[in-house]
Amino acid sequence: MTIISNDRTTIDSDLVVDGVHLIGGDWVSAAAGETIDVINPANRQLIARVPRGTADDVEAAVQAAEQAFPAWRDLNATERGRLLFRWADLIEQNAEALDELERQEVGRPSWGPLGTPRQLRFIAGQADKVQGVSLPTYSPDTLGFTLREPYGVVGGIIPWNAPGPMFVTEVGAAIAAGNTMVMKPAEDAPLTPLAMAKLALEAGIPPGVINVVTGYGTEAGAALPAHPRIRRMGFTGSPQTGALVMEACARNLTPLHLELGGKSPQVIFSDADLDAAVPAIVAGITLNTGQICAAGSRVVVDRRIHAEVVDRLAAQMQTVTVGPWHEPVNMGPLINAKQHARVLGYIELGKEAGAEVVTGGVAPTGDRFGDGFFVAPTLFDKVDPDMRIAQEEIFGPVLSVIPVDDEQEAIRVANGTDYGLVASVWTRDLGTAVRMSRALQAGQVAVNTALGAPAIGAPFGGYKNSGFGRTMGADSVLDWTQVKTVSMREAASLGR
Ligand code: NAD
């Protein structure tokens, strides 16, 4: 166990080992021996190093997963589920340490108890509910049925914004179905996934079932979908990278699902409960510094209440406290210099296009912000639906207000981007809620709530360029299986 040092800005955790990743149950350095620095985005200080994996590490991990596959596939499904439940228990027992680890690498303040154990328990409960169907047959001496079988060795690539939950969501469903897996976490936030994998081993999930290769996207990341013996892929990240992963999969005819970005609308009707809507909308765009795929980044509001909504949103935004991860603030920094430049660049684009900054619009200054990648929560009014700030995913705490005249215009504007991940509607009218739920092109529609559906086992995924496939729901386990039809004829009847 290596601890780099023990002050507030470096990792002090029993859950991570410096400089190694996980292949076949062994914690090893990169084949090429190189490492990547993981920094705290609040002050740019080094918190740990992880291996800079390449195609050689991916090959080693695929081999380890291949070795582990037959026994894991043949383990009875209830036992596989039991091991996943144990993994969830260990995650719960280590919740505080995991939260602290994720907070340091992502730079976010505390969110309190995480939903990861309950999400994993939902998936664990699906392990022995993977069922085929019986098929009618043309003659009574024949049986027909389907089996759902795992693919074999599968791969997953995840982003940095919620590394723990992403890791568990992808891995949990894939291994519940009997696959073994190679995961490539993001280079900016690989520590929580490594810690989660360590707990999986401690829970008794056999070596080689979960392998974690750290590294850059263009190196270890690109090698994973390009590997010919990866039988299925899951990718979560930007649409641009998703297209590259899909291209690589196409060359090997590897099936995949894509969980991509969003430009989610918050549609506010004139009868909405603004006391509920405004805090939820501001929390939704400032949580994780707006770096959430589902973040509601466009407020599409009835023109009659437009001015009141802008005033209230601005007042609420001004209550959001900003600072480093270990302080009791609402919002931390952005993840890295590139993301910082991107968000500030979009703010400039918005101003140049004629949108009005109501609050924020700057990087805060002062000692406590030091070298961190901070940006103030920003509210734009007078946004035209065609402006780039209203069309493109900013992935920062930037909210755009677009007034509309009626329901039809609200639908046109809400659906008027390339994305379709999540949409919220704020209204007291049941008819409006029903019509909007049908009309909105999004993988999840939430009425009178901001961040996705609080329903248990809710499938999550996108329409349009937000991707395809669904994670988190019961079907997510089925997604990691392939269907085999078996027709079985009584031997004695042959030749009759
Ligand atoms: P990204 O696409 O840059 O990176 C995601 C992952 O892909 C990282 O692990 C990265 O190393 C890897 N990668 C980069 N280039 C690669 C390549 N050529 N081949 C293979 N892998 C490569 O995304 P990001 O900046 O880390 O994350 C932000 C994006 O993720 C946003 O668009 C956000 O909306 C999206 N996201 C979507 C969901 C969802 O569930 N729909 C959840 C979280 C984030």
At 492 the pLDDT is: 72
At 131 the pLDDT is: 97
User: What are the CA-CA distances from residue 128 to residues 171, 205, 232, 419, 428 (Å)?
Assistant: 16, 16, 21, 35, 41
Whether the CB-CB separation of 299 and 266 falls below 8 Å is answered with yes
Examine residue 461 and state whether it is found in any structural domain, yes or no: no
For 359, the 3-state DSSP assignment is strand
> Which of 58, 157, 346 should be mutated for ligand 1, with most atoms under 8 A from CB?
157
Consecutive H or E run containing 37: strand 35-40
| Residue bearing the CA closest to ligand 1, atom 42 | 293
Of the listed ranges 87-91, 133-137, 450-454, 484-488, the one predicted with least confidence: 450-454
| Residue located via tokens 């006391």 | 275
Whether the CB-CB separation of 465 and 418 falls below 8 Å is answered with yes
At 326 the pLDDT is: 81
- Mean pLDDT, the chain, rounded, equals 94
**How far, in Å, is the centroid of ligand 1 from the Cα of 376?**
24
**How far, in Å, is the centroid of ligand 1 from the Cα of 259?**
9
Whether the CB-CB separation of 333 and 373 falls below 8 Å is answered with yes
Examine residue 4 and state whether it is found in any structural domain, yes or no: no
Q: How confident is the model at residue 454 (pLDDT cuts 50, 70, 90)?
A: confident
Q: What is the bridge-based pairing of β-strands 256-259 and 264-268?
A: unpaired
**How far, in Å, is the centroid of ligand 1 from the Cα of 330?**
24
Q: How confident is the model at residue 2 (pLDDT cuts 50, 70, 90)?
A: very low
Average pLDDT of span 15-36: 96
Catalytically active residues, by annotation: 259, 293
Q: Residue 354 corresponds to which tokens in the numbers above?
A: 């004629």
Do 230 and 161 share a structural domain? yes
Of the listed ranges 38-47, 357-366, 438-447, the one predicted with least confidence: 38-47
Q: What is the bridge-based pairing of β-strands 210-212 and 180-184?
A: parallel
Q: How confident is the model at residue 12 (pLDDT cuts 50, 70, 90)?
A: low
Whether the CB-CB separation of 25 and 204 falls below 8 Å is answered with no
- Report the CATH number that the domain containing residue 18 is assigned in CATH: 3.40.605.10
Count how many domains the chain has.
2
Phi, psi angle pair for 411, to nearest 5°: -65, -45
Q: How confident is the model at residue 4 (pLDDT cuts 50, 70, 90)?
A: very low
Closest ligand 1 atom number to CA of residue 242: 2
At 3 the pLDDT is: 31
Do 278 and 198 share a structural domain? no
Do 197 and 239 share a structural domain? yes
Do 247 and 289 share a structural domain? no
Of the listed ranges 170-179, 241-250, 398-407, 483-492, the one predicted with least confidence: 483-492
Average pLDDT of span 214-221: 98
Average pLDDT of span 31-39: 97
Q: Over 50: is that where the pLDDT of 425 sits?
A: yes
Closest ligand 1 atom number to CA of residue 461: 41
Q: Over 90: is that where the pLDDT of 455 sits?
A: no
- DSSP secondary structure string for all residues of 107-175: T----SS-SHHHHHHHHHTTGGG----EE--SSTTEEEEEEEEE-SEEEEE--SSSHHHHHHHHHHHHH
At 193 the pLDDT is: 98
| Residue bearing the CA closest to ligand 1, atom 18 | 218
* Whether the predicted model's global pTM rises above the 0.85 cut: yes
Q: Over 80: is that where the pLDDT of 290 sits?
A: yes
Do 248 and 301 share a structural domain? no
Examine residue 195 and state whether it is found in any structural domain, yes or no: yes
Q: What is the CA radius of gyration of the chain?
A: 24
Closest ligand 1 atom number to CA of residue 238: 32
At 493 the pLDDT is: 63
CA angle 329, 50, 95 (to 5 degrees): 45
Do 112 and 227 share a structural domain? yes
Q: Over 90: is that where the pLDDT of 153 sits?
A: yes
Q: How confident is the model at residue 496 (pLDDT cuts 50, 70, 90)?
A: low
Do 214 and 142 share a structural domain? yes
Average pLDDT of span 280-292: 96
Examine residue 489 and state whether it is found in any structural domain, yes or no: no
Closest ligand 1 atom number to CA of residue 248: 19
| Residue bearing the CA closest to ligand 1, atom 40 | 259
Share of the chain above pLDDT 70, in %: 96
Q: Residue 337 corresponds to which tokens in the numbers above?
A: 């210099």
Do 212 and 271 share a structural domain? no
Examine residue 425 and state whether it is found in any structural domain, yes or no: yes
Instruction: Specify the higher pLDDT residue, 455 or 163.
Output: 163
| Residue located via tokens 């609308």 | 265
Of the listed ranges 41-45, 255-259, 266-270, the one predicted with least confidence: 41-45
- Report the CATH number that the domain containing residue 373 is assigned in CATH: 3.40.309.10
Q: How confident is the model at residue 367 (pLDDT cuts 50, 70, 90)?
A: confident
**How far, in Å, is the centroid of ligand 1 from the Cα of 161?**
9
The set of protein residues with a Cβ atom below 6 angstroms from ligand 1 is 157-161, 184, 186-187, 217-218, 221-222, 236-238, 241, 244-245, 259-262, 293, 393, 395, 421, 467
Q: Which domain holds residue 280?
A: 264-456
Closest ligand 1 atom number to CA of residue 225: 20
Do 477 and 433 share a structural domain? no
**How far, in Å, is the centroid of ligand 1 from the Cα of 157?**
8
Examine residue 3 and state whether it is found in any structural domain, yes or no: no
Do 405 and 308 share a structural domain? yes
Q: Over 90: is that where the pLDDT of 42 sits?
A: no
Do 190 and 152 share a structural domain? yes
Examine residue 1 and state whether it is found in any structural domain, yes or no: no
**How far, in Å, is the centroid of ligand 1 from the Cα of 240?**
8
Examine residue 494 and state whether it is found in any structural domain, yes or no: no
Q: Residue 346 corresponds to which tokens in the numbers above?
A: 């979009």
Do 191 and 282 share a structural domain? no
Q: Over 50: is that where the pLDDT of 7 sits?
A: no
**How far, in Å, is the centroid of ligand 1 from the Cα of 213?**
16
| Residue bearing the CA closest to ligand 1, atom 11 | 217
Closest ligand 1 atom number to CA of residue 239: 32
CA dist., res. 386 & res. 278, Å (int): 24
> Which of 236, 252, 343 should be mutated for ligand 1, with most atoms under 8 A from CB?
236
Q: Over 70: is that where the pLDDT of 5 sits?
A: no
**How far, in Å, is the centroid of ligand 1 from the Cα of 217?**
9
Q: Over 70: is that where the pLDDT of 11 sits?
A: no
Q: Over 60: is that where the pLDDT of 103 sits?
A: yes
> Which of 54, 160, 241 should be mutated for ligand 1, with most atoms under 8 A from CB?
241
